[in-house]
Amino acid sequence: MASSAFRIGGDLEVGRLGFGAMRLPTEPGPGREASVAVARRAVELGVTLIDTAYMYGGGANEELLAEALHPYPDGLLVTTKIGLTRSGPSGEWKLDGRPEVLRDQVEQALRRLRVERIELLQLHRIDPDTPLADQLGALRDLRAEGKIGRIGLSEVSVGELKEAREIVDVASVQNRYNLLDREHEPVLAACEAEGIAFLPWRPVAWGESGARAEVAAVAAELDATPTQVALAWLLGRSPVILPIPGTARIDHLEENVAAEDLHLSQAHRDRLDQLSEPA
């Protein structure tokens, strides 16, 4: 069976099946109370990697996680992402990797998450209007100051990853990837070669009906759900993959976490591997 732990940056150990907090409602009321319960249940179930971002509610998601989980239990990694700002009358999100903006967003994230150091901070997107060396240089400075522990990237190409690694150590990459969408296969391969954690976002996505039917057939044979099959496939796909499925429901959370115990035979894997042509 696939190993259930991974060391991000070579030293920060987490369980390989994490939780994406993006979908948790943060508005006051029953939805927020349910969100707090889901976050707490994730930790009860043994999840040690929770992914959030400034973009998720302009920091509201980070504040929600702090409300639910602070003081954080030993071994829990809450990772966040920066590098987007709101602008204009309608509050549109846009890329902004200027060093002063990144520094301010880290300071704000420290405050919202109620920590003195963010163990893994990810650049949500590379800003094409700011030199990459300036963006990563700002994060490198923050790391030197002890405000962040490790630096990650999101939605990068193989070339961008290579360029970034000439400037800083890259501990993680968060790209879109799942059973039916393997566009970033080359990036995954590059991460695997270098021991870089690969956090697929949108780890479960259902494409055309033929593929969906095949996943459902495998699930039926294993007395599992299609979502569990998709997550188990990811866990077995590469030792550096750390899926972060998100949900706002405890029953779905429990279903997702149970995927870690699902064993796919080689025959099942062969069938699933054929559902998407590698990029």
**Active-site residue among 54, 56, 72, 177?**
56
Residue 3: how many CB atoms within 10 A of its CB?
A: 8
Write the DSSP string, 116-172.
S-EEEEEESS--TTS-HHHHHHHHHHHHHTTSEEEEEEES--HHHHHHHHTTS---E
Q: Residue type at 26?
A: T
Tally DSSP H helices, then E strands, for the chain.
10, 11
The rounded distance, in Å, linking the Cα atoms of 279 and 264 is 23
Q: In the annotation, is 56 catalytic?
A: yes
**Helix or strand (DSSP H, E) at 229:** helix 226-237
Distance CA 109, CA 70 (A): 14
How would DSSP label each residue in 24-53? ---STTHHHHHHHHHHHHHHHTT--EEE--
Question: Which residue in this structure is represented by tokens 């009860």?
Answer: 44
Largest CA distance in the chain: 54
* Pairing of the two strands 12-15 and 5-8: antiparallel
* Radius of gyration from C-alpha coordinates of the chain: 18
Residue 79 phi, psi dihedral angles, 5° rounding: -105, 140
The catalytic residues are 56
